[in-house]
Amino acid sequence: MTTGTTLSDAITALVAEKRAVGYKYDTEAQILARFQAFCRMQFPGLDTLTEPSVQAWITAARRRNVKPATLQGLVAPVRELARWLGRRGVVAYLLPGAALPRPARYVPYIYTNRELASLFAQTDRCHYCAEVPLRHLVMPVLFRTIYACGLRCSEARLLRVGDVDIDAGVLQIRDAKGGKDRQLPVSEALRARLARYDTEVGGQAGRREWFFPGAAGRPLTLGNVYRNFRRFLWQAHISHGGPGHGPRVHDLRHTMAVNNLRLWFAHGQDVGALLPVLQTYMGHSSVADTAYYLRLTAESYPDITTRIQQTIGDIVPPVTAGPRHGH
């Protein structure tokens, strides 16, 4: 590099800069560290990004048969590193944005009211298991909380006991996507259910760190949540399309957004004024991401399409585009 900065120095500075403005940048830092190690082995002495080194990184990933979305994730931080170097006068190869195939956008699955009722009924039938002794208490409340508050799965499973104010009926979501915190009031029905659950679990588990505890005092794992979810789907006779297809736990969050919008329209409420409320629950950085659900609502409930168009015109992206980030 003409500036005397090594590739390692550039990566360290880029990561520090991203974190200074509020990004976690943990996964990206790990990818850049792997890219640096790859270049050290395959292109010793190289202290910038060249087309051969970037293309070799892509080729190595393709040999592992990674999915298009994974490939995009492996390349995005490398492209950001090239831009960072370029802004500092270092010649660095920037892979064109259209060089890689874009993964197909997953269209959210919107559960019907009957499917939701059946799914929650199956969680209520979750039986005691000696290997996971709190499972039958955790699962009915976990999935109801995800749906009722529009939470991401990890936001729910990583709730600490201190994050749930039973008396006030408020959840504190900490360090969520984008590094942001938010507070979410819950309905009285859910508050009462959380209170009963907390009393039951406290009676069996004693002092605990995690509101939804997993094994050995640790939080629930994503794998544990998804295994139980797939079983509940099967018991509720809701078909699943296999890996990469729905329905997913995350679709409970999408369904919450659509159902709230549908009810607001049905009750003649000012949906434009209420979008920031939904934005807060969803934890979106921009109301534009939340407005995406207006289009999704029109797709799911065509009878209100005219009213949605009167509210938003043609400014909301189509369903296949998806929210830009933070969905």
> Residue 321: which pLDDT band, with cuts at 50, 70 and 90?
very low
Which range (74-78, 164-168, 309-313) has the least confidence? Answer: 309-313
Half-sphere exposure at residue 30, Cβ-oriented, CA atoms within 13 angstroms: 4
Rg of the chain over all Cα atoms, to the nearest angstrom? 23
- Check pLDDT > 90 for residue 292: no
3-state secondary structure of 34: helix
Tell me the pLDDT tens digit for each residue of 106-155.
788 999 999 999 999 999 999 988 778 899 999 999 999 999 999 999 99
- Token pair, residue 257, equals 């957004």
Tell me the pLDDT tens digit for each residue of 218-265.
888 999 999 999 999 999 999 988 776 779 999 999 999 999 998 988
Half-sphere exposure at residue 144, Cβ-oriented, CA atoms within 13 angstroms: 21
> Residue 304: which pLDDT band, with cuts at 50, 70 and 90?
low
Tell me the pLDDT tens digit for each residue of 95-105.
998 888 887 77
Query: What are φ and ψ of residue 206, in 5° steps?
Result: 70, -150
Do residues 85 and 4 lie in contact, with contact meaning Cβ atoms separated by under 8 Å?
no
* Residue 94: closest CA among 70, 116, 78, 115: 78
H helix or E strand, kind and range, residue 170 = strand 170-173
| Whole-number average pLDDT of the chain | 87
pLDDT at 316: 42
Top pLDDT among 246 and 312 is at 246
pTM: 0.73
H helix or E strand, kind and range, residue 164 = strand 164-165
Cross-sheet strand order for the sheet of 170-173:
164-165, 170-173, 182-185
pLDDT at 4: 67
pLDDT at 319: 45
